[in-house]
């Protein structure tokens, strides 16, 4: 028996169909909406359940709360983070001192929840500021909007962070990458998996450093722009294949450092096994340096990731990574799951166009995926075939030059 927690009702139909395709009937899993109910309120015997896709523990608290993560980055002088000041009490001296160093323009990011409305999610509430007085005014206005705030009360959490002017662009748009991570706890052993391609999230308007204060220029989130692209198969402006390879390796390197230090996870409630899906937002500059902006505990599962759902659940059930994920931390078990055989069948096939991928998913998993999902996998497969051939040729001429 499995417990699957979702965010929206439209996920339920997709998951129902997907599980049915591998002979897991509705009786073999329990589906919960993320915001409507929690396991603690259900009168159930947790021994009946094998896996719940909910993780708790100290590391989740540190990694998925922006102010905690940035405070930790500052304390260890983490190189893949932008300089930042975190405050819950407005101190003019601290803010003034922070403006004297680093970039002239700063991002001001609030982070709190007033039970119904979430601030600091999907880029909401973020401002580009250039003075202590501007910060003071914005904080004051935000307090007035927060019906739970009382004068003199500690602020929820604010992050004042350097901007990145030399930001990488794609077709002229500012972007950040969404890196997908799956954390699995099985028999008290921790494994973390990272996606082998990442998705772009774009600003609404073309990037112009002189217009950096404008929200449509700096805010890069999925709902701002419907353009789709996939890294490293599609490269940022003026980047070479070597540049994207360098950036991929650096992203993996720094996230590996994060999870090597932060691996205190356990299944939610009384369950023996558990897993969770995380989304790391990563900004890149034009020297291929990554900056980890935040790690989301409840990343939106856009339709682009329909093709990843089988592997998410496969990993959550303890299966080894297959095509779209690789091990970031820990040692994956080689156990099989109901998804092992159909996933291997799908990955072993060679596809020539997106429609054939859509047809294959429909035939193997009896679910329909969006065309953009099929296009992303076609790009990924094409890149991998080209990389394997290139690496083989180099290895024959000079093993020293091999990327492996």
Task: State the pLDDT confidence band at 306, using cuts at 50, 70 and 90.
Answer: confident
376 CB burial (10 A radius; 0-12, 13-18, 19+): buried
209 pLDDT higher than 90 = yes
Residue found by looking up tokens 């998410």 in the block: 312
Q: Quick one: what percent of the chain has pLDDT higher than 70?
A: 82
Q: Quick one: what percent of the chain has pLDDT higher than 90?
A: 55
Strands 55-56 and 290-296: unpaired
Higher-scoring residue by pLDDT: 370, 184: 184
Q: What is the DSSP letter of 285?
A: B
The pLDDT, as a whole number, for residue 324 is 93
The pLDDT, as a whole number, for residue 398 is 31
How far apart, in Å, are the Cα atoms of 236 and each of 176, 224, 229, 304? 11, 19, 10, 19
The pLDDT, as a whole number, for residue 301 is 63
Task: State the pLDDT confidence band at 115, using cuts at 50, 70 and 90.
Answer: very low
Domains observed in the chain: 2-55 (no CATH), 83-162 (3.30.1490.20), 169-395 (3.30.470)
d(CA 362, CA 292) in angstroms, rounded, equals: 36
d(CA 46, CA 275) in angstroms, rounded, equals: 15
Task: State the pLDDT confidence band at 116, using cuts at 50, 70 and 90.
Answer: very low
317 pLDDT higher than 50 = yes
d(CA 49, CA 81) in angstroms, rounded, equals: 39
The pLDDT, as a whole number, for residue 7 is 65
Q: What is the mean pLDDT of the chain?
A: 84
Task: State the pLDDT confidence band at 41, using cuts at 50, 70 and 90.
Answer: low
| 235-243 contacts, C-beta under 8 A, 24 or more apart | 236/168, 236/169, 236/170, 236/175, 236/284, 236/286, 237/168, 237/169, 237/170, 237/171, 237/172, 238/286, 239/168, 239/288, 243/288
d(CA 188, CA 190) in angstroms, rounded, equals: 7
The pLDDT, as a whole number, for residue 245 is 96
The pLDDT, as a whole number, for residue 391 is 44
First to last CA, the chain: 41
152 pLDDT higher than 60 = no
The model's pTM: 0.88
The pLDDT, as a whole number, for residue 27 is 67
């Amino acid at each position: 028996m499995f417990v699957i927690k979702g965010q929206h009702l439209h996920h339920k139909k997709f998951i129902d169909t997907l599980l049915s395709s591998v002979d897991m009937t509705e009786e073999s899993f329990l589906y919960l909406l993320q915001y409507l109910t929690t396991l603690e309120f259900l009168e159930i015997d947790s021994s009946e359940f094998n896996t719940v896709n909910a993780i708790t523990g100290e590391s989740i608290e540190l990694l998925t709360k922006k102010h905690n993560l940035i405070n930790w980055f500052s304390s260890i002088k983490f190189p893949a983070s932008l300089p930042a000041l975190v405050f819950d009490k407005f101190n003019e001296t601290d803010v003034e001192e922070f403006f004297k160093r680093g970039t002239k323009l700063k991002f001001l990011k609030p982070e709190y929840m007033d039970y119904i409305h979430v601030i600091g999610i999907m880029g909401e509430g973020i401002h580009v500021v250039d003075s202590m007085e501007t910060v003071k005014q914005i904080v004051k206005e935000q307090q007035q909007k927060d019906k739970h705030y009382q004068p003199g009360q500690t602020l929820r959490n604010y992050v004042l962070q350097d901007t990145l002017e030399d930001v990488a662009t794609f077709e002229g748009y500012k972007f950040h990458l969404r890196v997908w991570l799956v954390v699995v706890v099985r028999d008290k052993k921790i494994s973390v998996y990272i996606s082998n391609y990442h998705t772009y999230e774009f600003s609404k308007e073309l990037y112009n450093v002189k217009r950096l204060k404008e929200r449509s220029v700096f805010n890069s989130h999925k709902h701002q722009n419907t353009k789709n692209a996939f890294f490293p198969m599609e490269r940022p402006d003026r980047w070479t294949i070597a540049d994207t390879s360098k950036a991929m390796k650096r992203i993996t390197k720094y996230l590996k450092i994060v999870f090597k230090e932060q691996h205190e996870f356990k299944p939610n409630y009384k369950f023996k096994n558990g897993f969770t899906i995380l989304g790391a937002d990563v900004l890149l500059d034009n020297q291929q340096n990554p900056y980890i902006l935040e790690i989301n505990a409840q990343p939106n599962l856009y339709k682009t990731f329909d093709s990843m759902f089988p592997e998410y659940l496969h990993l959550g059930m303890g299966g080894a990574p297959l095509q779209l994920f690789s091990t970031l931390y820990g040692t994956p078990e080689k156990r099989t799951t109901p998804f092992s055989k159909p996933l291997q069948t799908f990955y072993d096939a060679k596809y020539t166009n997106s429609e054939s991928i859509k047809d294959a998913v429909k035939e193997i998993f009896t679910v329909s995926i969006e065309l953009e999902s099929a296009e992303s996998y076609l790009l990924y497969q094409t890149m991998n075939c080209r990389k394997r051939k290139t690496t083989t040729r180099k290895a024959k001429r000079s093993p020293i030059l091999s990327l492996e």
